[in-house]
């Protein structure tokens, strides 16, 4: 995928990977389709498999993305989890993009409390609510 700093938004990364939602418009009819798959198929496959690997190690290495995946899986009545996995990939992309843009390391406690690390004027890390 290269340097993620070249993208302005996480939606641009979604489009690059090909997980952005498709749309069909004809006259007044506007339908939402599945993912476009117009992006980099290797990056999409790697990110998809990454979610599976994260699920396998969640007992020893907790992550808010696997928490999200499990919550969606429990609340889903269907047997197919492709949409849940793609939503988790989107969440992973947003997390990676934010961490790289703000030059931060991942912290599970910060992620689960929906907080960001901010630098104080004296360069000490401080937690602050979003």
Q: Return the higher-pLDDT residue of 112 and 44.
A: 44
pLDDT band at 124 (very low <50, low <70, confident <90, very high): very low
- Answer whether residue 72 is part of any domain: yes
Q: Is the pLDDT of residue 129 over 50?
A: no
Q: Calculate Rg over the CA atoms of the chain.
A: 17
Instruction: Give the count of domains, the chain.
Output: 1
- Answer whether residue 98 is part of any domain: yes
pLDDT score for 116? 53
The boundaries of the domain holding residue 42 are 4-104
**How does pLDDT run across 68-122, given as a tens digit for each residue?**
999 888 887 776 688 889 999 999 999 999 899 989 898 888 888 765 555 444 4
- Answer whether residue 117 is part of any domain: no
- Answer whether residue 39 is part of any domain: yes
- Answer whether residue 120 is part of any domain: no
The answer to whether residues 97 and 4 touch, using CB atoms and an 8 Å cutoff, is yes
Complete DSSP assignment for 33-91 = EEE---S-HHHHHHHHHHHHHHHHTTTTS--HHHHHHHHHHHH--SS--HHHHHHHHHH
Which region holds residue 76: left if phi is over 0, alpha if psi is between -120 and 50, else beta?
beta
Q: Is the pLDDT of residue 128 over 60?
A: no
Give the alpha-carbon dihedral of 110, 94, 104, 54, to 10 degrees: 70
Q: Is the pLDDT of residue 65 over 60?
A: yes
State the average pLDDT over residues 14-34: 79
- Answer whether residue 62 is part of any domain: yes
- Answer whether residue 81 is part of any domain: yes
pLDDT score for 34? 77
Q: What angle do CA 77, 58, 87 make, to 5 degrees?
A: 45
- Answer whether residue 10 is part of any domain: yes
Backbone angles phi, psi at 21, to 5 degrees: -70, 140
pLDDT score for 123? 44
């Amino acid at each position: 995928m290269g340097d993620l700093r070249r993208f302005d938004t996480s939606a641009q990364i979604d489009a690059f990977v090909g997980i952005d939602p498709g749309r069909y418009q004809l006259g007044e009819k506007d339908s939402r389709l599945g993912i476009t798959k117009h992006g980099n198929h290797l990056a999409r496959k790697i990110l998809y498999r990454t979610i599976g690997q994260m699920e396998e190690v969640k007992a020893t290495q907790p992550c808010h993305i696997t928490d999200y995946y499990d919550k969606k899986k429990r609340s889903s009545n269907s047997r197919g989890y492709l949409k849940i996995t793609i939503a988790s990939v989107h969440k992973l992309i947003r997390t990676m993009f934010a961490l790289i843009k703000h030059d931060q390391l991942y912290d599970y406690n910060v992620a689960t409390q929906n907080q960001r690390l901010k630098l104080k004027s004296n360069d000490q890390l401080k937690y602050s609510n979003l």
